[in-house]
């Protein structure tokens, strides 16, 4: 059985690790650099997890700062915020926890992370992923899985777009045993951009208006808003030679279906926004806009939306001042 190390014991890192431990009996270690999280997890003897606020319990976990870790997992699983990743990888590398025989999987939001990961791992050892798995971290060491059991779905593809080798196949099999719902695809950019353009609608618009996904789709004009953002994103991707794994209509339909399934869920971008942290909008809508301009196409709506989210971020300081 392969051993896994998870870099980032946040919402998604814990979701993957806990499901691998509980559902498949797989050995998992966590690498964490956020001190309040480390302290809380050690204090309570593990991670506190629930599903839709029910059945809260503690799962014992092995958690280490990079400099404390002397293990040698076969596969790293990375879940960090885009703006934290470069610093995290540099610290991990300096701590000597990366080895030439290791593989790495990541299903972070946005784009740009695989290029950073490729500075430390060869292309044929990198597994790209996306996850339609809603999770929230309510406090250090406190994670809530959203959605019914069996609703998890994720995609994976190799960074070199080759068919799975023995290690990649084993990762796929382990994710299957963990009930993470993996689907293998043969081209990573189209796979990842399918999730990016989805997030460019749901995450961004819910964050701007500080609403849950169910509240978002209560508005009759959502399909038209989504279609405009999707059309620009698809046009930019096609000019760049990237072909998504879903059609424009399928992406629009998925916004409605997933927002209904997770109607009480606040997207991850809003969770960052509401806690006063920077959002990942530059790596989502901003990435789409950048891709368009690189291929002589202007994504006017995406560029405007990026400004709107940054304006909302700026306004937080004035709201705080008014409260003080």
Tell me the per-residue pLDDT of 276-315, one tens digit each, with 9 for 90 and over: 999 999 999 999 999 999 999 999 999 999 999 999 999 8
- Over 90: is that where the pLDDT of 207 sits? yes
- The strand ranges marked E within the chain are 4-7, 28-31, 47-51, 54-59, 62-64, 75-78, 103-106, 126-132, 135-139, 142-145, 153-158, 182-184
- Over 60: is that where the pLDDT of 324 sits? no
The CATH architecture to which 4-185 belongs is: 3-Layer(aba) Sandwich (3.40)
Report how far apart, in Å, the C-alpha atoms of 162 and of each of 2, 112, 115, 123, 284 are: 21, 20, 17, 10, 26
Give me the sheet containing 135-139, strands edge to edge.
54-59, 47-51, 142-145, 135-139
Q: 319: Cβ–Cβ under 8 A, 6 or more apart, which residues?
A: none
What is the pLDDT, as a whole number, of residue 261?
A: 87
Q: 252: Cβ–Cβ under 8 A, 6 or more apart, which residues?
A: 223, 226, 227, 230
Tell me if 127 sits within 8 A of 159, measured CB to CB: yes
The CATH architecture to which 190-323 belongs is: Orthogonal Bundle (1.10)
- Over 80: is that where the pLDDT of 320 sits? no
What is the pLDDT, as a whole number, of residue 316?
A: 83
Q: Where are the domains of the chain?
A: 4-185, 190-323
Split at pLDDT 50, 70, 90, the class of 264 is confident
What is the pLDDT, as a whole number, of residue 151?
A: 87
What is the pLDDT, as a whole number, of residue 106?
A: 98
Tell me which of 53-57, 90-94, 166-170, 180-184 is least confident: 53-57
Same fold, 4-185 and 190-323: no
Report how far apart, in Å, the C-alpha atoms of 122 and of each of 99, 183, 247 are: 11, 23, 32
Tell me which of 124-133, 235-244, 265-274 is least confident: 265-274
């Amino acid at each position: 059985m392969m051993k896994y190390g998870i870099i980032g014991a946040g919402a998604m890192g814990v979701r993957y690790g806990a499901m691998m431990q509980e559902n498949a009996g797989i050995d998992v270690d966590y690498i964490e650099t956020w001190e309040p999280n480390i302290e809380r997890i050690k204090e309570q003897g593990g991670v506190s997890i629930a599903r839709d606020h029910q059945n809260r319990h503690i799962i014992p976990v092995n958690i280490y700062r990079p400099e404390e870790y002397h293990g040698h997992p076969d596969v790293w699983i990375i879940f960090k915020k885009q703006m934290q990743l470069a610093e995290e990888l540099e610290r991990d590398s300096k701590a000597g926890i990366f080895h030439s025989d290791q593989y790495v999987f990541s299903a972070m939001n946005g784009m740009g992370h695989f290029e950073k990961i490729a500075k430390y791992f060869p292309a044929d050892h990198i597994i790209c992923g996306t996850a339609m798995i809603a999770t929230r971290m309510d406090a250090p060491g406190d994670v809530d899985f959203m959605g019914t059991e069996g609703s998890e779905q994720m995609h994976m593809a190799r960074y070199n777009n080759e068919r799975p080798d023995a290690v990649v196949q084993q990762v796929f099999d382990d994710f299957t045993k963990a009930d993470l719902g993996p689907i293998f695809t043969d081209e990573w950019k189209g796979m990842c951009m399918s999730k990016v353009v989805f997030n460019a609608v749901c995450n961004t618009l819910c964050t701007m208006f500080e609403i849950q996904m169910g509240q978002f789709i209560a508005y009759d004009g959502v399909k038209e808003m989504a279609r405009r953002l999707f059309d620009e994103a698809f046009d930019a991707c096609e000019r760049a030679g990237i072909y998504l794994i879903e059609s424009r209509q399928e992406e629009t339909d998925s916004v409605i279906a997933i927002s209904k399934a997770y109607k009480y869920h606040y997207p991850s971008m809003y969770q960052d926004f509401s806690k006063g942290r920077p959002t990942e909008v530059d790596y989502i809508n901003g990435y789409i806009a950048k891709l368009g301009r690189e291929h002589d196409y202007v994504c006017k709506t995406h560029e405007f939306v990026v400004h709107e989210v940054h304006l909302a971020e700026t306004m937080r300081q004035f709201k705080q001042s008014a409260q003080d």
